[in-house]
A and B are shown apart, each in its own frame.
Chain A
Amino acid sequence: EIVLTQSPGTLSLSPGERATLSCRASQTVKTNYLAWYQQKPGQAPRLLIYGASSRATGIPDRFSGSGSGTDFTLTISRLEPEDFAVYYCQQFIDSPPTYTFGQGTKLEIK
């Protein structure tokens, strides 16, 4: 079983700043099977990035994903007020299908 560890647990930044969120896997993630989700309080998660670096439909280009192997990064280039939320990374194993989430990073307003 692959364990995903996200860091930091909480990130305090101001609007306009750049946010860098990390997700480290305990084993190599095959073929960049990694996604990022955003969740605001009381809401369902929203898919931001899949395949490590592809933006989902309707996601602004200030969100970008990178990385491979065991180390992945979500970058938000210039924070907007609506970006403050909890972010989860998630990996997928295809045989048999298994999905695992990281514990989340809370992005809060400084």
Chain B
Amino acid sequence: QVHLVESGGGVVQPGRSLRLSCEGSGFPFRSYGMHWVRQAPGKGLEWVAVIRNDGSQKYYADSVKGRFTISRDNSKNTVYLEMNSLRAEDTAVYFCARDFVVVTVTMDKESWFDSWGQGTLVVVSS
């Protein structure tokens, strides 16, 4: 059974940094891309970043580009999100999610979030 557990959240002052971790188990971690998705209190979902299974490619939402870095250590079955220059608007529950790739009959590749962790709360406040 797929299990994802996030950690590292907490209260941090604006402008400071924080690193989140997400450990996966129950599946071949090194075979899957991984995402971070966040949800501000009482709000909807916002995709943050994705990293390919081998770490070779990384993509970010415009709202975090240049401030956040996604990385992974397949020997530890863990994906990370390094968050720098934090702002009040970064306050959210941060979920990690597994990348579910579907190859269609036309050989297009669809990408979805098929398993999620329970999330870790990050509060940016002075």
Interface residues of A (CB under 8 A from B): 31, 33, 35, 37, 39, 43-47, 50-51, 54, 56-57, 88, 90, 92, 94, 96-104
Contact = CB atoms under 8 A, between A and B. Distances in A.
DSSP majority for the B interface?
strand
B59 interface: yes
A33 B44 contact: no
Given A31-B108, A94-B108, A104 B113 contact: no
Contacts of B119: 44
Contacts of B61: 98
B118 interface: yes
A90 B100 CA distance: 14
A47 B112 contact: yes
B59 A97 contact: yes
Contacts of A50: 100, 102, 110, 112, 114
A51 B106 CA distance: 13
